[in-house]
Each structure stands twice: as C-alpha cells, then as structure tokens.
Structure 1
Amino acid sequence: MKTRMILLALLLSTAAAAPAATSAPFAEPTTTVAAGGYMMIISRVSMGFNAQASIVTVSPDGKEQVKEIDFSRFSAKQMAANMTEVHKAAMAAVNQYTADGWRLVNVSPSDVISGGNTVFSQTIYYLEKK
C-alpha cells in the first residue's frame, strides 16, 4: 500500500510538471532573485519499456528547464553506469547554482518505485537564496 501511495504521488507530480517541461539546456544561474527564494533540482529516471532520465530545474518563479540524459539499456552494467551519469549531472547542476550563491538546504533521497514493468527513481535537491 505504501509503495502504491508513493507511486501515485510521484506520477501526479510528474504529470503536473509535464506540460511545462522543455528540453532547453540549463540557463545560467542568476542573481536577480528578490529578497529570497527556493529552487529544486530533480534527478529522475524511469526504467522499463521506454527508459529515460532527466535533470529538471524548477526556478523560484515556477519555471522549469529539463535536461535529458542519455539512458540506454543494454546491460545491467550499462544501466549502473547510466545511473552514475544521472547523479553526476544532478551534482553538476547543484554545483553550478551553489557557485552563484544558492545554498543546498535539503535532499530528498532517491526513491525506487515499481509500477508494473516500469521502475521510477527520483532525488530532489532543494536550494535557497537569501
């Protein structure tokens, strides 16, 4: 039951974000945020019939930028290497923003959820700028 609830929450959050997603590269960090603000960097992977991965940046004004990560599925060894690439891309995004004055305030650990023949994994990095 708990797994189903988590899967439902993940699917709803992904579905809600899907219409606004673009495949544009990350924008350069900006220092024009008003007095304060929060942003999220979301590392997400789905493995199944259509394996895919992306890093999603949600800025303080709610705008999203999506960077697709190559995620081919040839072998277990390749899948493990691909997961490392996704984590490296997420860390590069976090480092890019922390260098511009953003501060990492929380990380929601990766959840692995199985829904039928598809497995989802997502890690969320929360950043703050005062």
Structure 2
Amino acid sequence: MKLRVLVLALLLGVVSFGRLTPAATAADGSGYMMIISRVSMGFDAQASIVTVQPDGKQEVKEVDFSRFSAKQMASNMTEVHKAALAVVNKYESQGWRIISIVPSDVAAGQGATVFSQTIYYLEKK
C-alpha cells in the first residue's frame, strides 16, 4: 500500500511540475529540462542517467551497475552519482541552472530499497 501511495505521489509531482512550466521555444533556447539518475536494485540491477530535453526528446545513458557485494554496490552508487553530476555540469556550462532536486526511493518488505532516483530540474532563461 505504501509503495502505491509513493509511486502515485511521485507521478502527480512530475505531472504537476510539467503543467506549471511554460513550453520551451526553439527560437530563444529557453525552457526546462530534467536529468534523472535512476537505480533499480532487483534481481537484474540496472542504473541509468536519462536526459529529457525541453522538446521532450530523451537520451538514456546506461551506467554499469554490477552488484556482487555490498562494497561493490556502494562503489557503483557513487559512479551513478558521478555520472549524473557530469551531465548536470555539462548543461550548467551551457547556461542551464538547477531549480530543483527531487530524490525518491521506493522500498518494499523490510525497508530494502528496490528503486531509487533523483530528478534534477534545470531552467534556461
């Protein structure tokens, strides 16, 4: 039940943010974009950085996330954060600025996180 409520709240937040932001125009290069750092820690552990451009186009960069031990998993989480930071810095150097960072975790069972993501909202005026 908690999982459903958390997922619903996350979806409503993303939809609400999308409705509040004005549409970007190609002519002036302004608008809003998202960089999403996400990790799934189930049987088939995966990690990726998703960049959603103002026009809705998205690019997905897979991040190696082997999880053979707790130490390796911790190291991989650092690699995911470093990959997200590199993408954020790339766009900040092009005039984009962070306006919001939204972390979220979805847990199941004994509190073990099975899905984690951080959404960086960027703006360019």
TM-score with structure 2 length normalisation? 0.78
- Amino acid corresponding to residue 7 of structure 1 in structure 2: V
Match of residue 122 from structure 1: 117
Separation of aligned partners in 2, 1:80 and 1:50: 16
- Which is greater in Rg? 2
Q: 1:101 aligns with which of 89, 92, 95?
A: 95
Checking the alignment, whether the CA contact within 8 Å between 1:44 and 1:53 is kept in structure 2 is yes
Q: Deviations over 1:43-63 (max 9, x none)?
A: 000001110000000000001
Distance 1:106 1:59 in 2: 16
- How far apart are 1:2 and its partner, in Å? 3.7
What stretches of structure 2 of length at least 5 have no aligned partner?
13-25
The AA in structure 1 aligned to 2:123 is E
Match of 2:45 among 38, 47, 51: 51
SS of structure 2 residue aligned to 1:5: helix
Secondary structure at the counterpart of residue 55 of structure 2: coil
**Deviation, structure 1 residue 97:** 0.2
Unaligned runs of 5+ in 1: 14-31
Q: Displaced runs of 4+ in structure 1, greater than 4 A?
A: 115-118
Q: Does 1:3 align with 2:3?
A: yes
Residues 1:37 and 2:23 aligned together = no
User: Hey, what does 1:17 align to over in structure 2?
Assistant: none
Please report how far the alpha carbon of residue 33 of structure 1 lies from its aligned counterpart in structure 2 after TM superposition. 6.0
Cα distance, 1:35 vs structure 2: 5.4
Q: RMSD of aligned C-alpha atoms?
A: 2.3
Cα offset, 1:4, TM superposition: 2.5
TM-score when normalising by structure 1: 0.75
One-letter code of the match for 1:122? Q
In structure 2, the residue matched to 1:26 is none
1:53-92 aligned at under 5 Å gives the runs 53-92=47-86
Measured in 1, the distance between the counterparts of 2:2 and 2:28 equals 39
SS at match of 1:79: helix
